[in-house]
Structure 1
Amino acid sequence: MKQKYQGSTRVKRAHLQALQKEFEMLHMKAGDFVNEYFARTLSIANKMNLNGENKEDVEVVEKILRSMTAKFDYIVCSIEESKDTTILTIDELQSSLLVHEQRMSSHFEEEYALKITHG
């Protein structure tokens, strides 16, 4: 019985280490939408929580801010300078980044429409 418990503990620890590595290596990919990246990040964080390592909101928020693509650099800087990231919720961060993403998308669509009409 003791060996079985130690074996399952070892397996659980190995699984948790794999999740930790996945969380550390995670970065937003070019072409990813904010919601997709948040879903991937939160999925890993939730799996870690289920395996005994509680990821606090601040850890997830800071991870996301560190790992966004370059097109989000100025909004990330703005968030870091204007808000206390230790109390910023994941939902608040996601909302801020979604607004930025929508603005970028509408500017891109306007530029594209102008290029088409002015050939």
Structure 2
Amino acid sequence: MSEDKSLTKIPHFDGQHYDHWSELMENLLRAKGLWSLVEIGIQEPIIGSALSTTQQAQHDDTKMKDHQVKHYLYQAIDRVTFEQILDRRTSKIVWDSLKSKFGGNAKVKKSLLNTLRRDFEILQMKQSESITEYFAKVTSVANQMRSNEETMQDTKVVEKVLRTLTEMFTYVVVSIEESKDVSTMTIDELQSSLVVHEAKFKRLDKT
């Protein structure tokens, strides 16, 4: 039995957060083995040239798959967005149109990235925040920077957190920096370690 396409969960695009949506959609199309139709497009035969039976069958199969990609894209967008796409001949044309309209130009992206960089630099853990809450805030900004083509390694996030924890964690930070190689530490590893120490502090406060 062939795969039931109706069971495929299509990421919805509402006109906002294009970068996030396009990454989800690209991942879906790659998983389906259809991404090349968006990335490269359909190679139409030269006008007047005769195709062999095999070539014609391959071309027909490619066009069918292209219709499948368009089906996914159409399911992802609402009618207002759909009507903004004037040329819908191929899935590549549809994708490029969405990217052009909603992806933002280089100048806008650069401005956004500069804002995110400033936000990242001024982040500082507040006394009222838990480790989990602070990590959520830092990783949220870091992930937005990654979405806007910033190279953001785990090491940079780890070092940022260690520099900006509250004074309560000072000795913990010193201990981590002396006993571990911070350059190879993952974000999850650091968070797990700090959560354990945070729990110890809370137990001491109750005694």
TM-score (norm 1): 0.85
> Number of residue pairs matched?
105
Corresponding position of 1:64: 161
Give me the whole-angstrom Cα distance separating, in 1, the residues matched to 2:114 and 2:132.
25
Cα displacement (A) at 1:109: 1.2
Cα displacement (A) at 1:54: 2.2
Give me the whole-angstrom Cα distance separating, in 2, the residues matched to 1:69 and 1:108.
16
Work out whether 1:34 is the aligned partner of 2:127: no
Give me the whole-angstrom Cα distance separating, in 2, the residues matched to 1:96 and 1:31.
19
Q: Which has the larger radius of gyration?
A: 2
Listed as ranges, the matches of 1:28-107 within 5 Å are 28-107=125-204
Runs of 4+, deviation exceeding 3 Å: none
Give me the whole-angstrom Cα distance separating, in 1, the residues matched to 2:126 and 2:180.
25
Corresponding position of 1:17: 114
Residue type matched to 2:148 in 1? N
Give me the whole-angstrom Cα distance separating, in 2, the residues matched to 1:102 and 1:54.
33
Identity %: 49
Query: Quick one: higher RCO (CA 8 Å, sep 6+), 1 or 2?
Result: 1
Segments of structure 2 that go 5 or more residues without pairing to the other structure are 1-100
Give me the whole-angstrom Cα distance separating, in 2, the residues matched to 1:29 and 1:99.
18
Cα displacement (A) at 1:106: 0.7
RMSD value over aligned CA atoms? 1.2
Residue type matched to 1:67 in 2? T
Segments of structure 1 that go 5 or more residues without pairing to the other structure are 111-119
Give me the whole-angstrom Cα distance separating, in 2, the residues matched to 1:105 and 1:52.
39
- Deviations along 1:8-34, one digit per CA (max 9) or x if unpaired, are 211110000000000001010111100
Q: Which has the higher helix share?
A: 1
Give me the whole-angstrom Cα distance separating, in 2, the residues matched to 1:20 and 1:45.
9
Residue type matched to 2:183 in 1? T
